[in-house]
Structures are given as structure tokens and as C-alpha cells.
């Protein structure tokens, strides 16, 4: 039932969008909304009927991971640094818990995309249709996303106390908009590789590096996305053609 609830609403809205011949991104937006509703419904059911508190469950899971890590540090003779490392990991765990809404929204977006992509493939094969996403390299978000990101970033400098009721919404917005900018940056890499007739392996490798080494490549790709949107980087590339 839980899987049916989460997938059912999103699947229905994606199917409706395909039936009405909405654009791929309009259909995706509806699918994301459907999966969000499904996840929220699952949260309410597990909370009220089963007594499962997602936040507390995640907190307990992270606490167990911290304890396991601490015991490993001690086994490797790092007892002196264990306390400091424990404090750092506890801070990171608290931050992750604050980001649960953003993480659930990202999960909904991923599930919607995968469901729509599989749906397109199935319908195209069975009914000989031509459903498809536009080339990823053509994706461009509106300039307004930059101003929203800068405004939220500015607020985050002044609201950095976890006790403030605005702290969690601001941190979640930073993560969500930051992820959109990363997607924009990856889109530009795909565009540039296509424009310069480079190997398709290069943009694919950029995605792999972002996931494998986010501490090194995530910020760079996000900045690239900001430049692409704010300074019309693609127009500059076209002029130099």
C-alpha cells in the first residue's frame, strides 16, 4: 500500500499529462506534485496509524551511525580526536534533519522523472508514439531564479540560528535552488560539448564527478549554472562560433 500510494498519484498525473499532450516539463511538474502529495500522504498515514515519526527515525539512524564511527576511530587509535569528530558529526546530523523537506522534494522529483521516462519508453514502444524529453543541453531556467537564490542566500547570512523559525525554510530553499543551478550548470556542459563536437563521454563524466566528488565539483558546476543564466553564457559561445 505505501508504494502504491506514493507511485499511484504521481503516475496518474503523469499519465494525464501524456494523454493531454502536455510538454515534457509540464508533465514532469505535475508528476512531481503528485509524488509530493503521495509522500505527504504516506507520512500522515505512518505517523497517525503506525506511530512512526520519520524525523525521529532518521535521528536515531544517524545517532547509531555516529556511534559506529566513534568506535571505529577508537579501534584505529584515534581516541584523542574522537570527541571532536563526534561533535562535528552531530552538527552535521542535525543539519541533515533540518533538510528533510528538501530531500523529500528532491526524492519526489527523481521518482517523477524516472516514472515519466519509463512511461515514455513504454508508450512509444507499444503505441508507436513519440513522447520524449527535450535534449538536456537545451534546458534553461529563467533569470529570476538567480535573484531568488541571492535573496535567500542573503537572508541565510542573518538567520543562522537553528532556533529561529525561518532557519529551516531558508536552508531548504538554499538546497533546492542550489540543486536547480547545478542542473543548469550540467546542462551548459552538455550544450558546450555538443557545440564543440566533443565526445559524449565528457558531459556524462561531469555528472559522475558531481556525484562522486561533490565537495570538489558541486560548487564549480553551481557557479557555472549561475553564469549561464545570469550572463547568457550560451550567447557568448554562439558569437565565438
Q: What is the CA radius of gyration of the chain?
A: 21
Residues of the chain with pLDDT under 50: none
CA–CA separation, 34 vs 40, rounded Å?
10
CA–CA separation, 206 vs 185, rounded Å?
10
State residue 44's pLDDT score. 80
Element (H, E) at 185: helix 167-195
In Å, how far are 140, 186, 217 from 226, measured between CA atoms?
11, 11, 14
CA–CA separation, 190 vs 137, rounded Å?
5
Cell 527523481, residue located: 110
CA–CA separation, 32 vs 146, rounded Å?
22
CA–CA separation, 209 vs 207, rounded Å?
5
CA–CA separation, 221 vs 12, rounded Å?
34
State residue 60's pLDDT score. 80
Residue 232 φ then ψ, to 5°: 50, 55
Which cell goes with 35? 509524488
Angle at which helix 100-127 crosses helix 79-98, to 10 degrees, equals: 60
DSSP 113-158: HHHHHHHHHHHHHHH-----PPPGGG----THHHHHHHHHHHHHHH
In Å, how far are 13, 56, 155 from 50, measured between CA atoms?
28, 14, 38
| Residue 197 φ/ψ region, left for φ over 0, alpha for ψ in the -120 to 50 degree band, beta for the rest | left
Angle at which helix 167-195 crosses helix 144-158, to 10 degrees, equals: 140
Amino acid at each position: 500500500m505505501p508504494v502504491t500510494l506514493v507511485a499511484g498519484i504521481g503516475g496518474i498525473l503523469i499519465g494525464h499529462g501524456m494523454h493531454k499532450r502536455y510538454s515534457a516539463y509540464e508533465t514532469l511538474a505535475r508528476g512531481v506534485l503528485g509524488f509530493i502529495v503521495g509522500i505527504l500522504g504516506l507520512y500522515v498515514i505512518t505517523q497517525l496509524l503506525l506511530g512512526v515519526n520519520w524525523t525521529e527515525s532518521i535521528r536515531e539512524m544517524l545517532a547509531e551511525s555516529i556511534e559506529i564511527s566513534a568506535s571505529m576511530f577508537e579501534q584505529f587509535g584515534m581516541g584523542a580526536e574522537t570527541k571532536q569528530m563526534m561533535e562535528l558529526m552531530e552538527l552535521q546530523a542535525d543539519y541533515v534533519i533540518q533538510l528533510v523537506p528538501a530531500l523529500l522534494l528532491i526524492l519526489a522529483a527523481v521518482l517523477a522523472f524516472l516514472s515519466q521516462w519509463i512511461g515514455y519508453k513504454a508508450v512509444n514502444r507499444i503505441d508507436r508514439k513519440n513522447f520524449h524529453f527535450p535534449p538536456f543541453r537545451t534546458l534553461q531556467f529563467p533569470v529570476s531564479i538567480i535573484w531568488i537564490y541571492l535573496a535567500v542566500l542573503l537572508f541565510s547570512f542573518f538567520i543562522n540560528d537553528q532556533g529561529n523559525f525561518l532557519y529551516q525554510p531558508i536552508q531548504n530553499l538554499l538546497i533546492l535552488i542550489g540543486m536547480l543551478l547545478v542542473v543548469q550548470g550540467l546542462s551548459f556542459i552538455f550544450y558546450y560539448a555538443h557545440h564543440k563536437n566533443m565526445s559524449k563521454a565528457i558531459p556524462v563524466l561531469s555528472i559522475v564527478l558531481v556525484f562522486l566528488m561533490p565537495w570538489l565539483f558541486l560548487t564549480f558546476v553551481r557557479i557555472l549554472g549561475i553564469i549561464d543564466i545570469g550572463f547568457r553564457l550560451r550567447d557568448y559561445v554562439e558569437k565565438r562560433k
